[in-house]
Structure 1
Amino acid sequence: MAEHPLPHAAGESLPPTERQREVLDAALALLVDAGETLTMGAVAQRASCSKETLYKWFGGRDGLLTATVQWQAAKVRAAPLPRKGLDRETLAASLQSFARDWLTVLTGETSVALNRLAVGQAGSEKRDLGAIVLENGPFAMRRRLSVALEAGRAAGLLAFDAVDTAYESFFGLVVRDIQIRLLLGEHLTLSAADIDADAARATAQFFVLYGTAAPGRSP
């Protein structure tokens, strides 16, 4: 009998429908184009739907912003891992896939624009987007990846005292200074091959730091 995959991290919402994804993509496009002037009416017009539908689905502007950021962040996921029989190759492939998706999303035009807008609102009265991005971006990544890291530790493939510390190490190895350089306006372009190589390097370095000497056995 096939093993059931590990559950998603706590706090993850159900995926949107195809029509809702179209609306969320329209909202993302507006955030890039119009920044903080995003309104329910503008999204309804761009997505060719009614404001009533938006309110029914998302409850209001904050709900729409939250769903939009969650949809962008949902593009980064670790592959499901088995509860039993997890080996180093499978875990490494999952972490490398996560790193590849992470870099692809972070270096995309949409994420750069969204993060710039959120940073620009930090410390002002318009803190809603910053809080939404923080909770559903970096914090969601931490929750999502922690599931895979804990699975690796339970299988005796990784050794660490605190999962948060392991996550921060992986983040540093994957993202390095790329995000801050993009936010500050550097015209940095990473090809798919570059991203694949960076993801493989970061995963290999992570196993040097946290991998056990005898894969599959408890340290």
Structure 2
Amino acid sequence: MGAALDIADEALTPRQQVVLTAALELLVASGDGLTMTAVARRARCSKETLYKWFGDRDGLLTATVQWQAAKVRMPQVDRARLDAASLRRSVKEFARDLLTVITGEVSVTLNRLAVTHAGAEKTGLGRIVLENGVLAIRKRLKPILEAGRDAALLKFTDSEDAFRTFFGLVVRDVQIRLLLGEELTLDAEAVEAHVAKATEQFFTLHGV
């Protein structure tokens, strides 16, 4: 059986993207009923190919969550030329990606399933979503925050605490309201206003 594909280590081929899209669509449609057979049928590929690429069902789920989380892109900054404006712009772009992804139907579905698994003491999906979702997203922003601190543009003692402050300002109670079934729609204008306010508040707390 092949090793699970690591989205962080290699670019996906178009066919692999089709497979992960199919997996995401099936998760939204059928929740915990995702099977390798159903994904293979929807993506029009063989189960043997899925096992070769992803290893097993958990490997496929891991790659699917990684691919979804990768939509929150790591900010690109030039440490040698980092200034207040470029840092603020990068943090705001990250906040926009984070809020857009985390309030999308796919992320809400994945998080609902993960919470259900955790409550039922199932270790699979809950662990996968935790490790490859928010914890992976955290790893993308913390180096940027630390670069800002090293450039004397941000002040904080612990980058973990700084990230949690940032996450709380951006996400607020939106995620829990969606998880509990509230019909909450954020259009592009609402997202932009939300992240602009969150960014301003973060720099008020941690900016120099």
Alignment TM class, shorter chain as reference: over 0.9
Distance between the aligned counterparts of 2:15 and 2:54, measured in 1?
A: 13
Aligned to 2:169: 173
Gaps of 5+ in 1: 1-10, 213-219
Residue of structure 1 equivalent to 2:136: 140
Q: Which amino acid aligns with 1:94?
A: S
Is residue 115 of structure 2 the alignment partner of residue 115 of structure 1?
A: no
Tell me which residue corresponds to 1:34.
30
Residue in structure 2 matched with residue 52 of structure 1 by the alignment: 48
CA contact (8 A) 1:44 1:54 kept: yes
Query: Does the 8 Å contact 1:75/1:101 carry over to 2?
Result: yes
Work out whether residues 145 and 159 of structure 2, in 8 Å CA contact, stay in contact via their aligned partners in 1. Answer: yes
CA shift for structure 1 position 125: 4.5
Does residue 88 (structure 1) correspond to residue 68 (structure 2)? The answer is no
Correspondence 1:1-219 to 2 at 5 A: 12-212=8-208
User: What's the TM-score, normalizing by structure 1?
Assistant: 0.89
SS in 2 for 1:120: helix
The runs of 4+ residues in structure 1 deviating greater than 6 Å are none
Q: Per the alignment, in what secondary structure is the counterpart of residue 49 of structure 2?
A: helix
- Once superposed, what is the RMSD of the aligned Cα atoms? 1.2
Structure with greater proportional helix content? 2
**What count of residue pairs does the alignment treat as equivalent?**
202
Q: Distance in 2 between matches of 1:157 and 1:69?
A: 33
* Separation in structure 2 between the aligned mates of residue 33 and residue 126 of structure 1, nearest angstrom: 21
* Identity fraction in percent: 62
Deviations 1:151-187 (A, max 9, x none): 1111110010000000000001000000000000000
Unaligned residue ranges in structure 2 (runs of 5+): 1-6
Checking the alignment, whether the CA contact within 8 Å between 1:78 and 1:97 is kept in structure 2 is no
Partner of 1:100, secondary structure, is helix
Equivalent residue number for residue 5 of structure 1: none
